[in-house]
Amino acid sequence: MIIVMSHQATEPQVNAVVERVKEIGLKFELSRGEDRTLVGVIGSNAYAYREAFSHLPGIKEIIPITKPFKLASREFRSADTVVDVGGVKVGGTQDVVVMAGPCSVEGEEMLIETARHVAARGARMLRGGAFKPRTSPYSFQGLAGLKMLAMAREETGLRVVSEVVTPADVELCARYVDVLQVGTRNMQNYALLQEVGRVGKPVLLKRGMSSTVEEWLLAAEYVLSQGNRNVMLCERGIRTFEVATRFTLDLNVIPLARELTHLPMVVDPSQATGKWSLVRPMALAAVAAGAHGLLVEVHPHPDEALSDGAQSLDFAAFDRMMDDLHRMTSVLTQVAAK
Amino acid sequence: MIIVMSHQATEPQVNAVVERVKEIGLKFELSRGEDRTLVGVIGSNAYAYREAFSHLPGIKEIIPITKPFKLASREFRSADTVVDVGGVKVGGTQDVVVMAGPCSVEGEEMLIETARHVAARGARMLRGGAFKPRTSPYSFQGLAGLKMLAMAREETGLRVVSEVVTPADVELCARYVDVLQVGTRNMQNYALLQEVGRVGKPVLLKRGMSSTVEEWLLAAEYVLSQGNRNVMLCERGIRTFEVATRFTLDLNVIPLARELTHLPMVVDPSQATGKWSLVRPMALAAVAAGAHGLLVEVHPHPDEALSDGAQSLDFAAFDRMMDDLHRMTSVLTQVAAK
Amino acid sequence: MIIVMSHQATEPQVNAVVERVKEIGLKFELSRGEDRTLVGVIGSNAYAYREAFSHLPGIKEIIPITKPFKLASREFRSADTVVDVGGVKVGGTQDVVVMAGPCSVEGEEMLIETARHVAARGARMLRGGAFKPRTSPYSFQGLAGLKMLAMAREETGLRVVSEVVTPADVELCARYVDVLQVGTRNMQNYALLQEVGRVGKPVLLKRGMSSTVEEWLLAAEYVLSQGNRNVMLCERGIRTFEVATRFTLDLNVIPLARELTHLPMVVDPSQATGKWSLVRPMALAAVAAGAHGLLVEVHPHPDEALSDGAQSLDFAAFDRMMDDLHRMTSVLTQVAAK
Amino acid sequence: MIIVMSHQATEPQVNAVVERVKEIGLKFELSRGEDRTLVGVIGSNAYAYREAFSHLPGIKEIIPITKPFKLASREFRSADTVVDVGGVKVGGTQDVVVMAGPCSVEGEEMLIETARHVAARGARMLRGGAFKPRTSPYSFQGLAGLKMLAMAREETGLRVVSEVVTPADVELCARYVDVLQVGTRNMQNYALLQEVGRVGKPVLLKRGMSSTVEEWLLAAEYVLSQGNRNVMLCERGIRTFEVATRFTLDLNVIPLARELTHLPMVVDPSQATGKWSLVRPMALAAVAAGAHGLLVEVHPHPDEALSDGAQSLDFAAFDRMMDDLHRMTSVLTQVAAK
């Protein structure tokens, strides 16, 4: 942390800052420039004490130096993390993993039909909402959905990823699914992050729709610090002034986050665009930008879907995406590797 | 809901849309313009069926007509709701209610000292975080904080408002506090909204930092629909490109929301600005814009605060804000009333 | 400027940075912390050289220290600037100045009628668009509008503020108006800023709808550095995800900018909200937040206006705003002064 | 345009709306729903009259139906426009065109060196700033830069694209360059749009950093309506809350705009990210999303660049991007075509 003194700051004001640093037990280094004096406050957690200075006179600004995440950082671990989901590997130089399925589990038949189709075309995981954000956590529907997902896994060998929305459901959910998804509205639900951290299953952590990359990595840090190192990050669009698409898919964040963290990056083009005709080009773009996985909504009959039909691919559109993806990833080793 | 056909839409395409409307059991009205055909789909919940049309060919756009909130709307209830918090009334033409106190309850002494001071200067409620968002919900600290808040109420007669962060804590919390606050990160935590709806205590619902006014009113609708009509809305700043302040306090939303809803509006200038020197002017601005209440962070010694000291008023700054506020509200009846 | 080295940075990498600093001719100070090394680069224009370091290995981040505006800053000039517009004074502890009038000058009669009305109710300046952004700069309409504004000044004694949209028009415009307005779409039109700087008339510089407060002050700096010190800043709403209002009026920026700069602050609630019913409460809020002036659209018959009628006050609504404003500013000396 | 009446609207209020429609000379269609009455106002320019209704009582909302751009729309022209820049074709199913070069023309030698290098590796156009936004339009530097660009064209056969910042420079600029670039800060500078429309050269129209796709297409419409049909659109990043990158590259807009318009889409990953290490992945992503061209900053020695060195590729990084791009576009016919 660097404390920048105002250029009118007096000697006693500078001294008061230095005294405060000493009281806290941190080290410091004074740097007197032409224009102003800087007080470098040294120690890896120095910035946590910034409040202790916020009301002292003569200070112009307080600037953090070290980023506040550690376990999630490339500096901490330089090799890519590869998350192993029952043998399906996500991250590093592994093949791009496609996670596909309906927005919500509407029934056994549609789920199995979808699972079989996407598995045959190369998907490795099945996505599907059992507990919708608005569903009562104790309702039968939630449990029934989980059981159907587990059954579809038996049938197809796909791993299952599904969202958990409240801490009380985490253990139940973890018994049925392979990856616990934390949704965009819960990225800073610390009670939930703690539970998914404790339970130890792989986690798919969606970016908050208005979260900076730093806040996102801090949320990951929260899970990692509970001892669960199997965290995948998922970009799903951020909220901007542009309303022609549902959200703005921020693909900048893929190569950027790959510089900052060793964790695998997944992209959800369905939620981001809200429009099925944009899903295929954005899925390809995500992989070209360096994504390790894709989360895509597929429905046998999108125009009959109970939710989010407008953004779901039908089987033909999914097949076309997979074909293009295979063609692109055949030249990808050279493309995606850093 | 209005379905706008592309101007190249064929007659069979228009008919297919009309058939779908009939299948669903809705009424419709065709309007053939110079350029294109519109299909008006009639029924208060028509827009809920928009997915059923999203994959039909020849459709250019689907436009909602009725706003999807009802209980929260001015159309449903034209008179202002006045929420009664143990005799302290918020809303309508009641006096502006100031809710003040520390960001977190750090100890008994500082809490009582703060409560006594703000009560003496005209505050009617005491705010204070017992469970911080990052705190384990089952920790002793949470319960201890609640007990201290209840004690401060005994001492001062202030009503108590405190945040609840997870559904499992709602009942415990409701035993100690007068108003359950739902924070910005939980505005769309439906499990939590349901619990605070069920338990029936007055609720202070903060706006999500990236939520539209419509989403905010829908979250309120969720609480109202559980039978709890005592909802106060609290604007606390939205996330924008401007990073010179912590958030951008959106005061437009105060007169706007007062047109759309009958619920009382509260403003939190401390969280929004993140800078204590901006709190007083923004508090005055909020009241001038029509706010019914203010939520303000006050700390006996902000530079020693464990959290958010930079945005807390000390006692002298609080006093100055209250003086200005009294002066302004003495001419306010004419000012704030619509 | 502070160059933060990565914690894996080698000694030769640190030395390379230091050598580069010496080559450029700047001074430096090394600070070796527990975790990492910092290189403080000293000199008021140091940050301008940051590019020279951007490709050197081992650097984690480059952080500016001094803000890049100078003439506009409070540090440069601590007393408030009061801009004198032919005797009407804006800034400091002067009375709040109301600038009112139609969005565009639609005709002589409506302009004179509006000017007389607003003058009688206490406005001190007349606003009105002669050159609309889309108008050809050489069209008769522009000149005719300017002449009508000048005539309305003769009739009423109001000072005239009007927008200039292209450098070629600045001199012509300056002959007819008292304040040259630079619009939100031109805040970074440097050719235009240069011309209004050179010509020396008072300038009303609107904030770009997506400009940070720092960029806004830099645009002001550009005008000031041409020798024109009569710059007023005007907040007019920023673009955010919220589309329920036309823009989001950022009132935080008023007290914030008053800390950073000595220039007067004006607020335009008409452009910001896009809705006449929000203009009065937001005008009051702006003044409570510390604005020195208001820019308000008024039209004798808003429902017949050729442009922006939805956000124009009619005479009755303007009168009500002025009444409330007088009531509020009667207690304002104590309220608004810092 | 559809006028949505409030559900309390009275019969006389509905009639008043209908009368106003008749006065204006538009047609209408009444639709009386369960909840409320709608007045469909028919005519391709109906929305232009919305102000005429904004003050009538009983109206809840006014909703536009037809998008206000026409010449730029897919509905107007279904086949892709291919812009011919002296034989280099951009748009439709043509090869992706790379436009590369330094941010600013710093000298003859560096410009020729860069031009030769990028031409040898497959670029078809040379980019370079002659007039920087802050440069005086009449300065020698501007003209000298233009002459150097023209000379580099002679040497290499590359077409030249360069920004023009003020209407007065358009004719001069058009004599030296092949494509007139309109920058992000000038997207709504109508005087400039008019001049580049009149002069008839191909135009590269960058998206305003806070412009919606609709506003962008309206700016294109302005150029097209002057009779100049050779408009290319360039996405260059939008301003969002995320500050870890300079801007947020909005690739959603590529497939979306290709649905809305027939004009070619170009992407500038250098300006968008502000960080050279993100340029290659984002360039690949842009092409995967369906871009017809790329605008990339290249400098022989980025760490000595006078401006924007941090986002410029050096020759080795450019070569690597071109190799990856060739590999990707070899499978692209199937990938990018809709």
pLDDT of res. A65: 63
Tell whether the model's pLDDT for residue A80 goes beyond 90. yes
Neighbours of B43 (CB within 10 A): 19
3-state secondary structure of B313: strand
> C8 versus D81: which is more confidently predicted?
D81
Pairing of strands C27-32, C37-42: antiparallel
Span A249-296, pLDDT tens digits: 999 999 999 999 999 999 999 999 999 999 999 999 999 999 999 999
Looking up tokens 């309120």 gives B220
| Mean per-residue pLDDT, D275-295 | 97
Sheet of strand A27-32: strand arrangement: A27-32, A37-42, A2-5, A59-63
User: Is C207:B237 a contact under the CB 8 Å cutoff?
Assistant: no
Contacts of C96 in chain B (CB under 8 A): none
pLDDT of res. D135: 41
CA–CA dist B136, A62 (Å, integer): 30
Residue of chain B whose Cα is closest to the Cα of D43 = B34
Span B182-209, pLDDT tens digits: 999 999 988 899 999 999 899 999 999 9
At residue A43 the predicted structure's pLDDT band, cuts being 50, 70 and 90, is low
Residues 38-57 of D with CB under 8 A from C: 50-56
Does residue D136 belong to the interface with chain B, where contact is any CB pair within 8 Å? no
Tell whether the model's pLDDT for residue D100 goes beyond 90. yes
Contacts of C63 in chain D (CB under 8 A): none
CA–CA dist D183, C190 (Å, integer): 12
Q: Of A9-18, B113-122, C299-308, D133-142, which range is least confident?
A: D133-142
At residue D23 the predicted structure's pLDDT band, cuts being 50, 70 and 90, is confident
Mean of the per-residue pLDDT values for chain C? Answer: 88
At residue A60 the predicted structure's pLDDT band, cuts being 50, 70 and 90, is confident
Q: Of A40-54, A149-163, A255-269, B247-261, which range is least confident?
A: A40-54
Span B283-299, pLDDT tens digits: 999 999 999 999 999 99
**DSSP readout, B83-101?**
EEETTEEESTTSPPEEEEE
At residue D209 the predicted structure's pLDDT band, cuts being 50, 70 and 90, is very high
Contacts of D244 in chain A (CB under 8 A): 212-214, 253, 256
pLDDT of res. B77: 85
pLDDT of res. C60: 80
The separation between CA C112 and the C-alpha centre of its own chain, rounded to angstroms, equals: 28
Percent of chain D with pLDDT over 90: 60
Residue of chain A whose Cα is closest to the Cα of C248 = A241
| Mean per-residue pLDDT, D260-279 | 96
Record: contact C52-D136, CB cut-off 8 A: no
Does residue C93 belong to the interface with chain A, where contact is any CB pair within 8 Å? no
Mean of the per-residue pLDDT values for chain D? Answer: 88
CA–CA dist A328, A283 (Å, integer): 11
**Mutation for testing the A interface, residue in B56, B106, B210, B212 having most A CBs under 10 Å:** B210
Record: contact D167-C165, CB cut-off 8 A: no
> A125 versus B68: which is more confidently predicted?
A125
| Mean per-residue pLDDT, D311-326 | 96
Record: contact B281-C275, CB cut-off 8 A: no
Pairing of strands B59-63, B203-206: unpaired
Neighbouring chains of B at 3+ CB pairs under 8 Å are: A, C, D
Residue of chain B whose Cα is closest to the Cα of C280 = B289
Tell whether the model's pLDDT for residue A136 goes beyond 50. no
pLDDT of res. A56: 82
Span A65-77, pLDDT tens digits: 656 678 898 878 8
> A287 versus B66: which is more confidently predicted?
A287
Residue of chain A whose Cα is closest to the Cα of C45 = A35
pLDDT of res. D24: 79
Q: Of B319-333, D19-33, D63-77, D136-150, which range is least confident?
A: D136-150
CA–CA dist B243, D79 (Å, integer): 43
pLDDT of res. D149: 96
pLDDT of res. D191: 86
CA–CA dist D324, B175 (Å, integer): 63
Span B12-56, pLDDT tens digits: 999 999 888 888 777 777 777 666 788 878 765 676 677 778 778
Percent of chain B with pLDDT over 70: 91
CA–CA dist C122, C99 (Å, integer): 10
Record: contact B54-A310, CB cut-off 8 A: yes
Does residue A109 belong to the interface with chain C, where contact is any CB pair within 8 Å? no
CA distance C88 to chain D (A): 31
Taking the model in full, what pTM does it have? Answer: 0.86
| Mean per-residue pLDDT, A78-90 | 96
CA–CA dist C232, C202 (Å, integer): 8
Record: contact D34-B42, CB cut-off 8 A: yes
> D50 versus C167: which is more confidently predicted?
C167
Residue A108: φ, ψ to 5°: -65, -45
Pairing of strands D179-182, D203-206: parallel
ipTM value for the complex? 0.85
Record: contact D35-B44, CB cut-off 8 A: yes
User: Is B191:A131 a contact under the CB 8 Å cutoff?
Assistant: no
| Mean per-residue pLDDT, A148-157 | 96
> C10 versus B179: which is more confidently predicted?
B179
Tell whether the model's pLDDT for residue D48 goes beyond 90. no
pLDDT of res. C136: 41
Residue C184: φ, ψ to 5°: -60, -35
Does residue D243 belong to the interface with chain B, where contact is any CB pair within 8 Å? yes
Does residue B252 belong to the interface with chain C, where contact is any CB pair within 8 Å? yes
E-only strand ranges, A82-202: 83-85, 88-90, 97-101, 125-127, 159-163, 179-182
Span C54-69, pLDDT tens digits: 778 888 878 776 566 7
pLDDT of res. C141: 59
| Mean per-residue pLDDT, B148-163 | 97
DSSP H or E stretch at residue C206 = strand C203-206
Tell whether the model's pLDDT for residue D276 goes beyond 80. yes
User: Is C58:C8 a contact under the CB 8 Å cutoff?
Assistant: yes
